[in-house]
């Protein structure tokens, strides 16, 4: 599996995640249209050029075919630059084979080794069992519940926060 910056050529591949009702079921927005994904990609490319850079919107590629199978985001907090929030989504045909867990480990390695972060965290919907298990298996412990953390089309949603600290992290 590989990670690289998204490009405008990735819009259709990313729409297979962000436009898919199954993949967005636990995300705080309705499935995106192709045009909305194109705008997200444009914004990500613009954010990649910012100094200091705070947003890494990365295409997840298959190791052999180089096909884009998902997306990973790492967002460095402006007021806490040692800390970044991660988010990820894989195309549903990729689920359940350990790729999500491997991807979280890869993003951790990128964040700690390449970016010099100290803390990496993720927020999931309380009912998102695959995300819970993948983050726990990748060493991201549960910190607790943030009430009404995000607004979704169906109302306010709590988040369960997971994190890993550089001191706990072991590069596998
Ligand atoms: C979350 C996501 C990235 C996990 O990817 P994945 O490749 O399916 O995860 P893995 O195969 O590594 O599985 C992780 C764990 O969840 C379990 N799991 C996977 N799918 C499951 C399901 N539908 N029901 C129950 N358990 C499931 C696996 O058995 C594994 O458990 P283990 O660590 O105890 O062996 C993927 O489901 C996804 O893209 N979901 C949509 C977007 C999303 O919700 N992102 C997370 C936002 S916080």
Domain ranges of the chain: 2-168
Q: Is the peptide bond before 52 cis (omega within 30 degrees of 0)?
A: yes
**Residue 100 DSSP label:** H
Distance 92 CA to ligand 1 centre (A): 10
Closest-CA residue, ligand 1 atom 5, reads 100
Ligand 1 pocket check for 25: Cβ under 6 Å: no
Ligand 1 pocket check for 116: Cβ under 6 Å: no
Cβ(2)–Cβ(58) under 8 Å? no
State which ligand 1 atom lies nearest to the alpha carbon of 89: 39
Ligand 1 pocket check for 133: Cβ under 6 Å: yes
- Note the pLDDT of residue 140: 98
Closest-CA residue, ligand 1 atom 41, reads 23
Those residues whose C-beta lies under 8 Å from the C-beta of residue 9, and which sit 6 or more positions away, are none
Closest-CA residue, ligand 1 atom 18, reads 130
- Note the pLDDT of residue 139: 97
- Note the pLDDT of residue 170: 84
Half-sphere exposure (CA, 13 Å, Cβ side) for 161?
Answer: 15
Cβ(31)–Cβ(21) under 8 Å? yes
CATH of domain 2-168: 3.40.630.30
Distance 133 CA to ligand 1 centre (A): 7
> Could you report the average pLDDT of every consecutive run of 10 residues in the chain (172 residues)?
97 98 96 98 97 97 96 97 98 96 97 97 98 98 98 96 95 66
* 124 bridge partner residues: 160
pTM, to two decimals? 0.96
Pocket test for ligand 1, best of 25, 71, 96, 99 (most atoms within 8 A of CB): 96
> Cα 6 from chain centroid?
13
- Note the pLDDT of residue 171: 74
């Amino acid at each position: 599996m590989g990670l690289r910056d998204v490009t405008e050529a990735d819009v259709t591949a990313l729409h297979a995640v962000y436009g898919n009702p199954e993949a967005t079921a636990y995300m705080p927005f309705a499935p995106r249209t192709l045009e909305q994904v194109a705008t997200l990609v444009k914004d990500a490319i613009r954010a990649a050029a910012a100094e200091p850079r705070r947003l890494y919107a990365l295409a997840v590629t298959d190791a052999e075919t180089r096909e884009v199978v998902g997306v990973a985001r790492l967002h460095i907090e402006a007021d806490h630059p040692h800390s970044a929030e991660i988010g990820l989504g894989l195309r549903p045909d990729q689920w359940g084979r350990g790729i999500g867990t491997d991807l979280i480990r890869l993003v951790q390695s990128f964040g700690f080794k390449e970016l010099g972060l100290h803390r990496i965290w993720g927020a999931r919907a309380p009912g998102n069992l695959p995300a819970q298990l993948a983050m726990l298996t990748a060493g991201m412990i549960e910190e607790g519940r943030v009430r009404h953390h995000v607004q979704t089309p169906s109302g306010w949603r709590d988040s369960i926060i997971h994190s890993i600290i550089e001191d706990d992290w072991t590069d596998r």
